[in-house]
Structure 1
């Protein structure tokens, strides 16, 4: 079942429970994750969009309430922490260290981490530690 379909199911339950915060949250995200033609965006795109909004909310750049931020966190899978990123980058650590520029090192790291849920800032921090 897609994320939007799951949200629609939960919307009915939140309306019955008269949970205004959850109901408004679900309505907002169903609208955000549905195209003008009524098609749902792919789950990968939905998670990417929600993760971006979560990052903005944590930085104080949105008007989401703390309750809404907590609801977004329920829908977004957790990202790898710095120690897990370090373990994932261990096979390419020598290539990262040998890269002449930080941007090239980041490119090597991101190729190695493709498809894994990571925050770019965490990857940058791990690369900085590796490059010393």
Structure 2
């Protein structure tokens, strides 16, 4: 079952259970996916990876909003944004652990034969490809690990 099909099935279940929070969040996610499908010159059907990329973007938006709300003293809104982000993350692959991330970076450096910061682009490309095959990774965290590994090389 694709991610979009799972979202739709879970929406039906949450509507039957009268779970307003979950129903609202799932509707927003399906809407974001549908909007992404219609964006551009020609409407298209998204692959499962593209759907997950849309969902990852929605998680990022909610995490950033939660930080802004927390800074403004609106803790109830921040908690709601965080809860929505947590719910959306259940539809995404597991994030890589710190050890897995270090291993991906080491393998990417070995694969590209990188010797310094000038090779960062090639290492990032290889590391992103490896990380995508294994799980989900935050780009900033991956970039920081690659930068640290190359600076020590």
TM-score if structure 2 supplies the norm length? Answer: 0.69
Moved more, 87-96 or 50-59: 87-96
- Report the aligned-residue RMSD: 2.9
Does residue 76 of structure 1 match 2:92?
Answer: yes
Aligned residues: 132
Measure, in 1, the Cα distance between the counterparts of 2:65 and 2:116: 37
Q: Structure 2 vs 1, CA of residues 81 and 65 (structure 1 numbering), >3 Å: closer, same or farther? A: same
State how 1:18-29 maps to structure 2 within 5 Å.
18-29=18-29
Conserved 8 A contact 2:123-2:146: yes
Structure 1 unaligned blocks of 5 or more: none
Q: Structure 2 vs 1, CA of residues 23 and 40 (structure 1 numbering), >3 Å: closer, same or farther? A: farther
* Paired position in structure 2 for 1:97: 115
Measure, in 1, the Cα distance between the counterparts of 2:129 and 2:28: 33
Structure 2 unaligned blocks of 5 or more: 69-76
